[in-house]
Structure 1
Amino acid sequence: MNRQDWTRQLLVPSVLSLALIIVSPATSLNSDESYLFGLQTDVLNPGTTEEYMHYMFPSNSTDYLTSVTLCIRIRILQYREIVPFFSYAYSDLYDNAFLTYQNGPEMQFYYNDLKESSGLGLHVDGSLGGWHHTCLVFEHPSFKLYFDGELISEGKLGGTNGIIPLNGSLYIGQEQDRFNGGTDPTQTISGYVSQMNIWNYALNNGTIRDIASCAVNLRGNVLSTDVDEFDTPGVEKTVIPVRKLCTDDSAFVIIPMERYLTEALVFCNLVNTSVYIPPNTDMNIKLYEDSFQFKNACDSKSYRRLLLGATDEETEGTWNNVKTGKPITYSAWGPGEPNSGANDNCLVLRNDMPFWGDLECAARHCFPCGRAAHDFVFVRGLCRPVEHQIRFIIDGYVNNRPYFRGYYGMAIYSTGGTGWLFKDTMTNMTIATAHLHQPEDYPIGRTIWEVEETYCSFAPGETMELGLSSCTTDQYMCSDGSCVPRDVRCNLREDCRDGSDESNCGIVAFTGRYASHRPPPGQTFKDKLYIFPHVHLVRFSKIDDIQLAFYMEYEVHLAWTDRNLKFKNIKDEEAKNKLSESEVESIWTPEVDFLNVNDGLLKSLKSGVYARKTGDPDPPLFNDVKMDTVYQPQNVSLVQKNFYSGSFSCNFGLFKYPFDTQICSVLIKLDSADTSVITFSNATVRYSGLINLPKYTVQNIVVDLSESVGYAVMEVKFQLERRWSLLVLTIFLPTILLIGIGYVTLFIKLPAFQVRAIMTLTTLLVLYTLFNQVSSGLPDTAYIKMIDIWFFFCIFLIFSVIIVHIAVEHLPENGDSSSAVKSVMRVSPVGEPPLFREAWLTGTWVMKTIRIFVFPFIFFIFNTVFWISIIGV
């Protein structure tokens, strides 16, 4: 097929179609056509009062309106201070008899010079660049407001005057502040207007819905832009089929740089668009014709010019949209195309005719990005009062490069080469310029700009950082403009392709002057600062009875609120919020002293300061180019964690050894300032080590707060109950056995004195040796301990046995008839039984008495008293 063939096949119908659309204003309209008016459509020029639509009713008219319906269809290209739809005045006093306008995304209207939309919250922002139909119905004292055929508000009018004379001045696209004048270039329309109609009665809901959906083309019986002649200086007037007013054709821009399809997908995604596929013949021809301006940049040696957004790589033969994965509904294959089977899987637009072909996806070509009316990006770093004002769209070309057009008169476009310009088109002022690294680069993501004119808080010659991306405030913008979830910022993993989410991850944000040498204030500047301590006892490494000390490892956590700081990107997990060394050095941290350290044996093993989230972050700031999550000081606590290993003295009370319980403590003094400035509060303690130590059982761990010489002191107390079971086996049981051996010697026959003497002496020596061994394992004390009393008793008891043995050796045995002895030693008193009257003091009798009565009685009495003293009853 040659050029004449495809021209005849496609361009002739297209030209005929355009001929129906663009005709002379004098041409009469069919019922399915309307006039299209373009007012100030060059969005790169400032607003002007020289372009408008104006209709003057006869000044001598006596007609008036009591019920009225006003409808207009508008396609806004750019927001300004206000975007007036129509403004009707019949005197200077009633310069807003009818006034409907859009203030950003909010709809406002006046009736008889009274603003009736106050407090209604009429949010009607569908998008910029799309057709929208608005109708106002007034039946005094009631009103109804319709947007795109749907009733969005109704109510009662506040004014008492319901009559509107038809002898005034009507402006479309300008707001008049006085009768037939007082226009303002910042209060004008930049866009297209069609089907402005006025009826002298109230249209019903169904009729308005049909007009809005282009099902009918009802013209006003009072005024209609399709019937009445308006004064239209500077306005483009054309004819358009009514159906086109309800069809938003997709928009596209051609990116004149060669890229692989995967790279093209990334680029279009960064500007909130997708690689374009023409949806119909008209748009296919328009894309082909627009591509000729980039012929030199985009034409390679082959016949291919533009990559389109479809492939059949995964479903051979079925071409699917690479964004949605759905089959394309329109195709314009060239002769013999597609022609390479499984080898060529990417779609291209030819450069010799408006048809498609296929090619290998490894080829690099220029590409178009297509967007719907609601596809926009944000430019952050500006000082705009509302988020709506930082929206931009990629649209059109300046210096053969696509440019970014703001909703409110800003523009970012190429100046050629690596230069880019940021301009306020409403004031025709260049705000800043930037120079990128490569000529093909775009200012997507974070870019440093040089300020040319005073803007926000920036002075000429300074630099400011702007961020252009599609990222919402719930997302984080990477340096290249890509978006990741906001909560992955500074999570120690690179979620951005360029790793920028892990850069500048400082936690502390200083506010104004900061004094790191003094404590921050409490809840108010006059209140003391409260430190909330927590002590974590990790383990006891040694308990030394001799040195009266214990060795342990523990953590001290000190939490406080620093009201002179703000914080960024705080995670739920406290361990992920560690401050850097430089941040720790720059802020105030509490100092503590340990009052009962033993011989200075204290070592800091590890330290760090962490941020603990205690509340919610501030709402995201849409102007913030850094897009950090910011927390106010009351929603974050700083926690200083120090891990120590140390030896602490403890006053061991050994009177009841080995059945003693020691009360030991760690004394921590807050040494930063006295209690008038800073103090402890709500202290807690936790022990995670073994409860049963080799010698002791850890019990009753508590923490007390007190004050010492004006400084706050925290005392962590615990009980060490000695584990006595082994000591009973190694001390008491052997001594009882030794006592038993001594006692047994009382049963040895009297003639065997040598055996009795050796056994008791040996027992005494063994008992003393055991006593000496036990005593050497205890600290020296000036007081007598219960264990000493036990050993003293045992030694004394064995010693007494030895004395008995020696004494008995000098007494007669049974049967001795010495009269001298009998006369002297007789002890049987009168009245006793005959057996005792005849008894004589002999060695056998003494032995029997001691072993049967005396020894058990003494041992029983002593043990009773001893154990009662131990138990404490």
Structure 2
Amino acid sequence: MYGVCTLALALLAASALAIGDDESIMYGIQTDVLKPGTTEEYVRYAFPLNNTTLLSSFTVCIRTKIIQYREVVPIFSYAFSDRADNALMMFQSRAQLDYYINDQKVSSGLNLRLDDRLFVWHLYCMVITHPAYWIYVDGKLLKEDRLTTPSTDIPLNGTLYIGQEQDRYDGGTDPDQTLSGFAAQFNFWDYVLEERTIKNLAGCLENLRGNVLSSDFATFDQPGVTSEIVPLQSLCTEEPMFVVFPLRRQVTGARIFCGILDGMFFVPEDEKTNNRLHEESNMFTEVCDFKSYRRLLLAGTDEEQEGVWVNFNTGKRLEFTSWFDGEPNNGKNDNCVVLRNDLPQWGDINCEYSNCFSCGMSSKNYFFIRGLCKPDEHRIRFIMDGYVNDRPYFRGYYGMAIFNVGEGTWVFKDTMANLTLATMTMEQPEEYPLGRTVWDVLEPFCDFAVGDKLRLGLSPCTIEEFMCSDGSCVPRNVRCNLREDCVDGSDENDCGIVLFSGRYASHRPPPGRTYREVLYIQPHVHIVRFSKIDDINLAFYMEFEVHLTWTDRNLKFKNIKEEEDKNKLSTEEVDSIWTPEIEFLNVNDGLLKKLKSNVYARQTGEAEPPDFNDAMMETVYLPNNVALVSKTFYSASFSCNFYLFSYPFDTQMCSVLIELDSADTSVVNFINESVIYTGLMTLPKYDIQKITSNLSVNSDYAVLEVEFTLERRWSLLVLTIFIPTILLLGIGYVTLFIRLAEFEVRAVMTLTTLLVLYTLFNQVSSDLPDTAYIKMIDTWFFFCIFLIFAVNVLHVLVEHLPATENNIIKISPNSDNVRVSKLRKVTGPWTMRTMRVIAFPIVVFVFNLVFWLTILAVG
């Protein structure tokens, strides 16, 4: 019965207002965005108090468009008594939708995500048939669930508010919980609408009014609220948005400027928009009207064909044209389109002229104001919307505004509190505060005091991008990559890596994982090459690099690249941080050169989530996710205790001793040592065998020992020492086969051989260090020399043995003379044959015995 009466009243109202089926009433609630929220503006409908109708199944729908956010944006609120403050309510908080049914916040924790842009119409529907309910947004089912509360029918004797929240029946409104925007098509049905019908309503395919209540027909209380009849389709389409800039630019400059605003160089595509653009530009006649008829450059050209208009942005031909009589003209000399100053019509001009222009915006275009202390990113969104003091201005989603007050001075204002927070003057009065700018604080807010300098960044750059100083955006990963990706090169400015804390002390080591733990440093030695192995001075020369890796818990880092070599700390940063100190314990004669030294930051973990309040938009890493690496390149000589007993078949063990001198092991210590060698494994005198590293402690200080094996290459030494000595031994032995009568020959040969052996022995000894112990090479030469000496003694001994003489007649074939000579012949057991066969092996045996006894004695 109630529905029938309401419908009858609705028909009377419709007759009075003459609203067609394809029209609806739109209410403008608190549309002055530069004023704080108020409870004095609302749309309210009061049901009769004596109405006894109860509803257990019903549908409520409403369409709203938010133009500014408050802490809470109520969509509608229905209350019927103090017992049920919010019998039905739906509200939006940022991008989350919440709702009450029977005074219970059913959506708590559901996190229903919404499109949170401004200037976008959305249709919200709540469908209930106890215990089931459905929530629709823009025709899509957002939530389907069942109520856990007992069935409580909704009485139709309460009050309905659009754009206000009731904390109690017909009251308790809050200025921070209001709608700033537009509302239309509130409809209340006493039955459940089908999903198909709700989709049609969302798409403006039909205009079904509520049989209980319809905002198109019912009479609402609307103090301070505007209302107008609008076409139904206007609630489902987004009207073109643009901002006129009283700046003179050429076409290229205008396109770049609009790009920085995340917009597009604008061109109207229909007559209505064209007329709006001309009307809006009338406020800039003093600046923009120039040389007869020209006012605004448009994003169009007729370069390809005279009069055929092409959109600069898309390259596509558009149907709508509004040429003035006689335009276009002058052929290809004038290829750019301009809006006239006297009529909303076009002409063409030379593209080299500078004129004012407009930028097309949409609900998707918004800026971020960075450098504040807002709790979430939604609160730092800004848009360009309208004009203040005849200049476009920026306003925030939540009541902040940046606008010009003349002479290039801009103010930053909290319109909700009606406070001017900061001010700034541009160097060029006609410019806009895009990018990073420095402001003077006038009122205390966030952590800023009066008189502080506040750095703000205003741009459309997301947290995945880096904001250049002029407000343009580049990918975040190009920040500090040694190439200028920003037009102004600002991405390569202030590229320091280290973020210091206020109490940082560079003279003492940072703590370990906790403030009482030892700081562990990972040493790594990279041996590049061995330049010389010096047997005489018992030393070796090499070039190597020492890497020391540690974590400094007192530092944070920024803009760390995956490639370690791109994270080089500056000299000033290295001088300002703590770095470990090392000493080489076995340096030879102080021959140590530090060729170069650098400190790098190594990424070991992920960066912190980007701080949307950071005006510099840096990528910050916590200490645990970055390791510092000191890389120092040395050229040095180190002593080595060569043990040459087995020379030339010896193997030497040498080492480099590196001591951590920064503090004892109770403060800093080595851990996880490593060593690599990338040079040649085969040196002129040695082969590099095994290279190892191990840790030890020396007087409570950590020591790293890098040990390697040098195996002497003996092939050349065998060729130059042993083969010649063996040949000399053979020569000495061969003298035993010379006739006894040739004593002078045998003596000269053995003595010469003995002298050559001695000379070779001296030469070999001069290439080795002096040692107190006997080496195997010494024993070998001693054996060879003594053996030749023994042969020489044998020759002398044989010469003095008793012998008989025989006469031998020698007749020369060319002479008549006959010569008689005497031949000595040894008699008894000491014949020449006996001496060669028996005496020499005995000598060899004796000296072999001496040789091995010497080895055993020395070994």
Q: Which TM class, normalised by the smaller chain length? A: over 0.9
Distance 1:705 1:839 in 2: 76
Q: Which residue of 2 aligns with 1:799?
A: 789
Q: Which residue of 2 aligns with 1:152?
A: 142
Distance 2:79 2:429 in 1: 53
Q: Which residue of 1 aligns with 2:404?
A: 414
CA contact (8 A) 2:527 2:678 kept: yes
Confirm or deny that 1:765 pairs with 2:755: yes
Change (3 A) 1:318 1:750: farther
Which of 327, 333, 341 is the aligned partner of 1:343?
Answer: 333
CA contact (8 A) 2:42 2:224 kept: yes
Which of 837, 848, 854 is the aligned partner of 1:849?
Answer: 837
Confirm or deny that 1:322 pairs with 2:312: yes
Which of 515, 529, 543 is the aligned partner of 1:525?
Answer: 515
Q: Which residue of 2 aligns with 1:600?
A: 590
Residue 691 of structure 1: how far off its partner (Å):
1.2
Which of 121, 139, 156 is the aligned partner of 2:111?
Answer: 121
Distance 1:318 1:484 in 2: 35
CA contact (8 A) 1:808 1:846 kept: no
Q: Which residue of 1 aligns with 2:666?
A: 676
The 10-residue stretch of structure 1 (205-214 or 793-802) with the greater mean CA deviation from structure 2: 205-214
Confirm or deny that 1:694 pairs with 2:714: no
Give the counterpart letter for 1:509 in structure 2. L
Residue 730 of structure 1: how far off its partner (Å):
1.0
SS of residue matched to 2:332: coil
Confirm or deny that 1:741 pairs with 2:768: no
CA contact (8 A) 1:395 1:404 kept: yes
Q: Which residue of 2 aligns with 1:428?
A: 418
1:531-560 per-position Cα deviation (integer Å, ceiling 9, x unaligned)? 100001111121111111111111110000
Distance 2:418 2:658 in 1: 67
1:604-646 per-position Cα deviation (integer Å, ceiling 9, x unaligned)? 1111111111111111111111111111111111011111111
CA contact (8 A) 2:653 2:708 kept: yes
CA contact (8 A) 2:600 2:628 kept: yes
Distance 1:315 1:142 in 2: 63
1:801-847 per-position Cα deviation (integer Å, ceiling 9, x unaligned)? 00000001012457789xxxxxxxxxxxxxxxxxxxx9822342443
Distance 1:428 1:117 in 2: 34
Confirm or deny that 1:752 pairs with 2:742: yes
Confirm or deny that 1:140 pairs with 2:113: no
Confirm or deny that 1:38 pairs with 2:39: no
Structure 2: unaligned runs, 5 residues or longer? 1-12, 808-825
Q: What are the within-5 Å matches in structure 2 for residues 486-501 of structure 1? A: 486-501=476-491
SS of residue matched to 1:263: helix
Which of 170, 189, 199 is the aligned partner of 1:199?
Answer: 189
Give the counterpart letter for 1:95 in structure 2. D
CA contact (8 A) 1:126 1:374 kept: no
Distance 1:493 1:561 in 2: 29
Q: Which residue of 2 aligns with 1:465?
A: 455
Residue 708 of structure 1: how far off its partner (Å):
1.3
Q: Which residue of 2 aligns with 1:369?
A: 359
Distance 2:347 2:141 in 1: 48
Distance 1:181 1:639 in 2: 66
Distance 2:742 2:396 in 1: 123
1:559-616 per-position Cα deviation (integer Å, ceiling 9, x unaligned)? 0011111111111111111111111111111111111111111111111111111111
Change (3 A) 1:517 1:600: same
Q: Which residue of 2 aligns with 1:227?
A: 217
Q: What are the within-5 Å matches in structure 2 for residues 374-773 of structure 1? A: 374-773=364-763
Distance 2:794 2:193 in 1: 134
Q: Which residue of 2 aligns with 1:82?
A: 72
Residue 327 of structure 1: how far off its partner (Å):
2.9
Change (3 A) 1:688 1:312: farther
CA contact (8 A) 2:776 2:855 kept: no
Distance 1:816 1:317 in 2: 142
Confirm or deny that 1:61 pairs with 2:44: no
RMSD: 2.2
Give the counterpart letter for 1:381 in structure 2. G
Change (3 A) 1:120 1:840: same
| TM-score relative to the length of structure 2 | 0.94
Residue 341 of structure 1: how far off its partner (Å):
2.9
Give the counterpart letter for 1:326 in structure 2. K
Give the counterpart letter for 2:446 in structure 1. C
Q: Which residue of 1 aligns with 2:6?
A: none
CA contact (8 A) 2:306 2:329 kept: no
The 10-residue stretch of structure 1 (394-403 or 270-279) with the greater mean CA deviation from structure 2: 270-279
1:719-767 per-position Cα deviation (integer Å, ceiling 9, x unaligned)? 1111111111111111111111111111100000000000100110111
Distance 1:201 1:305 in 2: 57
Q: Which residue of 2 aligns with 1:14?
A: none
Distance 2:239 2:104 in 1: 38
Distance 2:855 2:318 in 1: 98
Q: Which residue of 1 aligns with 2:91?
A: 101
Give the counterpart letter for 1:791 in structure 2. F
Q: Which residue of 1 aligns with 2:272?
A: 282
Q: Which residue of 1 aligns with 2:248?
A: 258
Distance 2:756 2:827 in 1: 38
Which of 784, 791, 797 is the aligned partner of 2:774?
Answer: 784
Distance 1:771 1:472 in 2: 82
CA contact (8 A) 1:264 1:275 kept: yes
1:130-166 per-position Cα deviation (integer Å, ceiling 9, x unaligned)? 1111111111111111111111111112321431111
SS of residue matched to 2:707: strand
Distance 1:659 1:421 in 2: 87
Which of 331, 345, 355 is the aligned partner of 2:345?
Answer: 355
Give the counterpart letter for 1:686 in structure 2. I
Residue 244 of structure 1: how far off its partner (Å):
1.1
SS of residue matched to 1:342: helix
Q: Which residue of 1 aligns with 2:100?
A: 110
CA contact (8 A) 1:621 1:627 kept: yes
Give the counterpart letter for 1:56 in structure 2. A
CA contact (8 A) 1:51 1:232 kept: yes
Give the counterpart letter for 2:347 in structure 1. G
Which of 280, 299, 306 is the aligned partner of 1:309?
Answer: 299
Q: Which residue of 2 aligns with 1:823?
A: none
Change (3 A) 1:488 1:862: farther
Residue 27 of structure 1: how far off its partner (Å):
2.8
SS of residue matched to 1:732: helix
Give the counterpart letter for 2:207 in structure 1. N
Distance 1:315 1:484 in 2: 36
Residue 716 of structure 1: how far off its partner (Å):
0.3
Residue 393 of structure 1: how far off its partner (Å):
0.8
CA contact (8 A) 2:367 2:381 kept: yes
Distance 1:155 1:866 in 2: 101
Change (3 A) 1:814 1:634: farther
CA contact (8 A) 1:697 1:723 kept: yes
CA contact (8 A) 1:611 1:637 kept: yes
Distance 1:115 1:651 in 2: 84
SS of residue matched to 1:96: coil
Paired-residue identity, %: 60
Confirm or deny that 1:332 pairs with 2:327: no
Give the counterpart letter for 1:110 in structure 2. Y
Distance 2:303 2:720 in 1: 86
SS of residue matched to 1:693: coil
Q: What are the within-5 Å matches in structure 2 for residues 8-19 of structure 1? A: none
CA contact (8 A) 1:743 1:851 kept: no
Confirm or deny that 1:48 pairs with 2:48: no
Give the counterpart letter for 2:498 in structure 1. V
CA contact (8 A) 1:114 1:158 kept: no
1:352-387 per-position Cα deviation (integer Å, ceiling 9, x unaligned)? 221122222111010011111121111111111111
